[in-house]
Chains A and B, each alone.
Chain A
Amino acid sequence: MDDILLLDAVERYLNGEMAPQEREHFENLRKSTPEVDQLVVEHNMFLHQMDAYVAHTNIKHTLHNAHTYLLERGDLNEGGEIPTRGKLIQFWNKYKRVTAIAASVGGVIALFISGLTVYFSSAVNDPKLQQLGKDLEEVKKSQQYQGSIINEVKSKIPVNARLLSGGSGFLIDTKGYIITNAHVLRGTGAIVINSKGKEFKSSIVHIDEQKDLAILKITDDEYNPAKSIPYSIQKSNADLGEEIFTLGYPRNEIVYGMGYLSAKSGFNGDSLSYQIQISANPGNSGAPVFNQNGDIIGILSTRQAQADGVAFAVKSRNIYAVVNDLKKSDTSFEKLKLPTRSTLKGENRKVQISKVEDYVYYVKAYGK
């Protein structure tokens, strides 16, 4: 009870509710008893804390109301319905002239900017991500000094066509089906080149922009179907930290790289892909990502611009999904069968690579 009486006194003292005489008495008590003094200080602080808390709660409430109110009036827009029509028309009448001027100025600026954009940008959608397709025009320019050598090889690209982009791809069926990234195939057709530099004509049979996957079929008479494919394509998800390696064509020669699986989702939580730590370069797009046993767990697709070694791979189970889509849309592909048995388990890396490299192709897309 004493505590309560004391607390009551403290509170009345702080609120200035004490009569002068009592106040004087209490102040003397404060001076002579450090405990009471401490209680006053503490309680004062606590009451301030409570006041601030109350004010905070109130302002939050006001803000919430303001938001709702302004949203109803149409002053704010959260992507929902646009304010009523009547209002819009009034608004239009009021600002017709201003809008006309603004629109024409805006139009000019927009044209100018889109001109600039077309001029400078590549076809990458998100500036933070960089697709690893290669802009072959660029490569061509930088390799002009090799021109004489290149020209000696008779290319299978149609005479009038221009090379547009390049990447990697790999065989998923011995009959000549190759999977790669959709963004690699920028043009109207593609040729594929094996690790020994031999070119084959091919046709694009399926493109899934959403999964960023595409299937090509080698249509060349010179292609001898492989007996079997040494790797399998994994249906289940890979584990975090799993060691991985890849083979691709960032240049005209096949290039090996290794790293590890760093996250089970891709850029911005994209569940279609993994994040992997590997050094990837333009041209690696569409390259297979193997685990230690030589199972394919993904298709290398993009890397994060300005972050070293961070790349993303489309999960391998999406290959099953696109192949099923393809079979559904066209029964002539019914015989397409994905490899499910790996013969690479337990082999050392050099042997694995030598067995796999013939199945990884350099994809060059061209257009008219």
Chain B
Amino acid sequence: MKGDTNEQALLKGLAHNDSKAIETIYKENFNMVQSFILNNNGSYDEARDIFQEAMIALYEKAQTESFVLTCQIKTYIYSICRRLWLKRLQQLGRYTTQVDSMEETVAVSEDLEAHEKRNVEFAIMDRALNSLGEPCKSLLEGYYLKKMDMNALAREFGYTNADNAKNQKYKCLMRLKKLFFSQYNIGE
């Protein structure tokens, strides 16, 4: 079962955002997806989008604690891409009656649903962050995204001390939360 442990290691690497593991998975699977999409009315750009979307879905799956992949990585990625592409084709109104299927597929509906729900949440967060305005946006990004410490932030933004910066950060955070939840609850 050498292949199996190898795949497990790759998935673990993916879950930790390890660039070596990601490159390996990328290299081994991208061309298959690209030719599938090119053969079915798609472009190079669309192939890249769809493949990366599938990688993110796999990443999300690999992060959950109860994670078990019951099939090969290749099969899983292909299945996700296939579903995503069919959906995209439908949305674009590119009417195709047949999408050729040479590869084996597995059921991925549930995973995709979860993935799409997350995508919606990220989009809401994105909108909320972008409608905050400066310096709130950069301040919060500095603290929560880049994990900078309060003193460094105060220096960078020119606050006289860390406490003032912290106060400001909380004000911004409250606004962000408000923006986020107003959208989020509508989404529900």
Q: A interface vs B, CB < 8 Å?
A: 3-4, 7-8, 42-43, 46, 49-50, 52-60, 62-67, 69-70, 75-79, 127-128, 268, 304-307
Known: A54-B145, A63-B56, A305-B97. A46 touches B177 (CB 8 A): yes
Chain A hits for B30, CB < 8 A: 67, 70, 76
Q: How many residues of B contact A (CB 8 A)?
A: 38
Q: How far is the CA of A159 from the CA of B23 in the complex (A)?
A: 67
Query: Is A46 in contact with B44, judged by CB distance below 8 angstroms?
Result: no
Query: Is A59 in contact with B144, judged by CB distance below 8 angstroms?
Result: no
Known: A57-B145, A59-B56. A69 touches B23 (CB 8 A): yes
Query: Is B27 in contact with A3, judged by CB distance below 8 angstroms?
Result: no
Q: How far is the CA of A201 from the CA of B173 in the complex (A)?
A: 84
CB distance from A45 to the nearest CB of B (A): 9
Q: A52 is contacted by which of B48, B55, B118, B173 (Cβ under 8 Å)? A: B118
Q: B144 is contacted by which of A50, A78, A128, A305 (Cβ under 8 Å)? A: A50
Would you list 9 pairs from A and B whose C-beta atoms are within 8 A, ordered by A residue? Answer: A42-B177, A46-B181, A50-B145, A56-B56, A57-B145, A62-B17, A63-B26, A67-B30, A67-B52
User: Does B6 touch A at the CB level, under 8 Å?
Assistant: no
Known: A79-B44, A268-B41, A306-B97. A50 touches B27 (CB 8 A): no
Interface string of B1-36 (1 = CB under 8 A from A): 000000000000000010100110011001100100
Chain A hits for B31, CB < 8 A: 76-77
Q: How far is the CA of A45 from the CA of B2 in the complex (A)?
A: 40
Query: Is B17 in contact with A55, judged by CB distance below 8 angstroms?
Result: yes
User: Does B171 touch A at the CB level, under 8 Å?
Assistant: yes
Chain B contact residues: over half helix, strand or loop, or mixed? helix
CB distance from B53 to the nearest CB of A (A): 9
User: Does B170 touch A at the CB level, under 8 Å?
Assistant: yes
Chain B hits for A46, CB < 8 A: 177, 180-181
Chain A hits for B95, CB < 8 A: 304, 307
Chain B hits for A78, CB < 8 A: 34, 44, 48
Chain A hits for B180, CB < 8 A: 46, 49
Query: Is B96 in contact with A128, judged by CB distance below 8 angstroms?
Result: yes
Given contacts A52-B122, A54-B145, A304-B95, 6 further A-B contacts (CB under 8 A): A8-B166, A46-B181, A59-B56, A62-B19, A69-B23, A70-B23
Q: How far is the CA of A268 from the CA of B95 in the complex (A)?
A: 8
User: Does B94 touch A at the CB level, under 8 Å?
Assistant: yes
Q: How far is the CA of A114 from the CA of B122 in the complex (A)?
A: 49
User: Does B148 touch A at the CB level, under 8 Å?
Assistant: no
Known: A4-B167, A59-B59, A304-B95. A66 touches B48 (CB 8 A): no
Chain B hits for A70, CB < 8 A: 23, 26-27, 30
Q: How far is the CA of A66 from the CA of B125 in the complex (A)?
A: 25
CB distance from A109 to the nearest CB of B (A): 15
The 9 closest A-B pairs by CB, nearest first: A78-B44, A306-B97, A4-B170, A53-B125, A63-B52, A66-B26, A66-B23, A54-B145, A75-B27
CB distance from A63 to the nearest CB of B (A): 5
Query: Is B174 in contact with A7, judged by CB distance below 8 angstroms?
Result: yes
Query: Is A56 in contact with B122, judged by CB distance below 8 angstroms?
Result: yes
Query: Is B27 in contact with A52, judged by CB distance below 8 angstroms?
Result: no
Chain B hits for A60, CB < 8 A: 52, 56
Q: A307 is contacted by which of B22, B26, B97, B170 (Cβ under 8 Å)? A: B97
Query: Is B56 in contact with A65, judged by CB distance below 8 angstroms?
Result: no
CB distance from A29 to the nearest CB of B (A): 18
Chain B hits for A62, CB < 8 A: 17, 19, 22
Chain A hits for B118, CB < 8 A: 52, 56
Q: How far is the CA of A199 from the CA of B170 in the complex (A)?
A: 89
Q: A4, A46, A53, A268 — which one has the most chain B CB atoms within 10 A of its CB?
A: A53
Q: How far is the CA of A304 from the CA of B118 in the complex (A)?
A: 37
Q: A8 is contacted by which of B22, B63, B145, B170 (Cβ under 8 Å)? A: B170
Chain B hits for A305, CB < 8 A: 97
Q: How far is the CA of A62 from the CA of B21 in the complex (A)?
A: 11
